[in-house]
Amino acid sequence: MPAKNVSVLFDRAGDLHRRDALEEAERLYRQILTIDPAHIGARYRLGLLRFQQSRPQEAVMNFNRVLAAQPDHRDALYNRATTLAYIGLRAEALASFERLLDLEPNHFEARYNRAIALWHLGRPAEAIADLDRVLAMKRDFAPAWNIRGNALRDLQEPEDALQSYRKALQIDPGYSDAQRNLGSPLFETGRTEEGMMEFRRFAETEAGRAAPDMPIAPHKARHDQEQRDYRGGAEVFHIEAGARLAEPAVNPGRADMAAQWRTSSPQIVVIDDLLSPAALEALQRFCLGSTIWRNVFEEGYLGAYPEDGFACPLLTQIAEELPRAYPDIFASHPLQYLWAFKYDNRLQGIKVHADFAAVNVNFWITPDDANLDPESGGLVIWDKCAPPEWDFAAYNGEAAPIRAFLARSNARSVTVPYRANRAVIFDSDLFHETDRMHFKPGYENRRINITLLYGRRRTC
């Protein structure tokens, strides 16, 4: 076929592609490549089309073929890199970003996306260097300020992180990623109440945005129907007030806990009657009435995080009083994060994992009469910490490698049975999981545990 006719086919394919007629565009691209296997434009656009079809590996294969023929094809370098980053191959993506930046040092998108890849790879200082170059090109680019805040948090510079998030919000007051992120550095700098307010404000703002139309897991649907019945059929997003108490929420500290914390191996203490009766009742009311159980886990439990609305003055009060009641345990560790999980009596609890903090406070608030087996329903903790070289994805990921590590290490477990208002405080780096559960059916009988994390991870 004459080159002129191939050019006509290419133009027609491009027009179809722009109009999202992907199958017809693909047919013409393939026809061109049958006629001329070395046609760079058709091969490159086929890579773009494959990405649009949610076939990123095939997109990369096509970009690779373009680059084999034309190593300095800048668009192919960029799209190969972003596609590799999209599928989690960020180290491989860096090579393409760096090759493109060698050719074009001020390529704005490549510099920004390279910074994101570096941050995900645990290289925050390098990410900040790239982000500062991005911001030198475009000072009002809110996403760069937001990622810069994330990298500064990783470098344990929460005050500077706050300034970056606030700069992002000054540029774009509705930028949800920065709104979500603002609460954590406030926690880390001791401004717990302000952090709670920011998280709650974010949750209320997000509730007004349209939720994606996605199928609902059966155990989530069961919970939501039970909660609607409990709340009298109300469908609206709602967060209970969760007001501070005039009196202390945390009962006075036990004098023997400091010595037990120093000498126990593994480092675990169990505290019964953690909260005052008034605080326990108020917290139960908050967790039962708030429609914040938005995170669905396939094992069968639901999660509520601060950005979902698990944030209120009562939680601030508890988080602030715990270190005062037990100063030898918490030392100077600030609150890092918190969450609550709610369980389905027919399904499983949390698989074995470790958490990203120094001190883990895990306590239970569902009444004891909901638990059908007083010897179970609590927490299993092993006497082995996550290896220091493991990152979050490893020590909070698949259970099989963790169990293999525990077996190799001859790890022994400690089981703490469930009791309402019982707290288990332990080194957060220790592997742990939910014990087997036998709870009554019914909304108010659902097992609820609350976790507060203090301080940065340290390997024990």
User: Exposed e or buried b for every residue in 320-337, given b needs 16+ CB within 10 A?
Assistant: bbbbebbeebbeebbbbb
Return all residues near 298 (Cβ < 8 A) that are at least 6 apart.
217
Average pLDDT over residues 195-204: 95
* Average confidence (pLDDT) over 399-406: 93
Whose tokens are 């991005």? That residue is 134
Amino acid 8: pLDDT: 86
Give residue-wise pLDDT tens across range 362-382.
999 999 999 999 999 999 999
pLDDT band at 392 (very low <50, low <70, confident <90, very high): confident
pLDDT recorded at residue 393: 81
The set of residues, in sequence order, having a beta carbon less than 8 Å from that of 259 and lying 6+ positions away, is none
Across the chain, mean pLDDT equals: 93
DSSP calls for 207-234 = HTSPPP--PPPHHHHHHHHHHHHHTTS-
Q: How far apart are CA 128 and CA 147, in angstroms?
A: 8
Token duo for residue 402: 């963790």
- 235 has pLDDT over 80: no
Q: Are 299 and 347 in contact (CB under 8 A)?
A: yes
Measured between alpha carbons, how far is 346 from 313 in angstroms, rounded to an integer?
Answer: 33
Per-residue pLDDT band at 13 (split at 50, 70, 90): confident
For residue 160, which phi and psi values (nearest 5 degrees)?
Answer: -65, -35
Locate tokens 């709870």: which residue?
A: 439
User: 175 and 169 in contact (C-beta within 8 Å)?
Assistant: yes
Give the model's confidence band at 212: pLDDT under 50 very low, under 70 low, under 90 confident, else very high: low
In 3-state terms, what secondary structure has residue 252?
Answer: coil
Q: Render pLDDT for 157-168 as a digit per residue (tens, 0 to 9).
A: 999 999 999 999
Percent of the chain with pLDDT over 90: 83
In the chain, the amino acid numbered 117 is: A
Residue pair 139/151 in contact (Cβ under 8 Å)? The answer is: no
* H-run or E-run covering 335: strand 335-342
C-alpha 311/C-alpha 202 separation (Å) is 10
Asked if residue 210 has pLDDT above 70, the reply is no
Cα separation of 414 and 417, whole Å? 10
Q: How far apart are the C-alpha atoms of 160 and 167, rounded to whole Å?
A: 11
**Helix (H, G, I), strand (E, B), or coil: what is residue 379?**
strand
In the prediction, which pLDDT does 426 show?
Answer: 95
pLDDT of residue 395: 81
- The pLDDT assigned to 306 comes to 97
| Domains and their CATH numbers in the chain | 3-198 (1.25.40.10), 204-454 (2.60.120.620)
pLDDT tens by residue, 34-77: 988 999 999 999 999 999 999 999 999 999 999 999 999 999 99
151 — pLDDT class (breaks 50, 70, 90): very high
Alpha-carbon gap, residue 349 to 377, rounded angstroms: 9
Kind plus residue range of the DSSP H or E element containing 448: strand 448-454
Which whole number is the average pLDDT over 86-113? Answer: 95
- Cα 292 to Cα 285: distance, rounded to the nearest angstrom: 13
Structure tokens at 78: 């960029």
Tokens of 29: 């691209």
Looking at residue 131, its pLDDT comes to: 98
- Assign 3 a pLDDT band (cuts: 50, 70, 90): low
At 390, the pLDDT band (50, 70, 90 cuts) reads confident
Q: Which amino acid is at 346?
A: R
Residue 174, C-beta contacts closer than 8 angstroms, at least 6 positions apart:
none
- Rounded to 5°, angle at Cα 77 from 76 and 80: 80
pLDDT at 459 over 80: no
Mean pLDDT, residues 386-407 taken together: 88
Structure tokens at 367: 């009444």
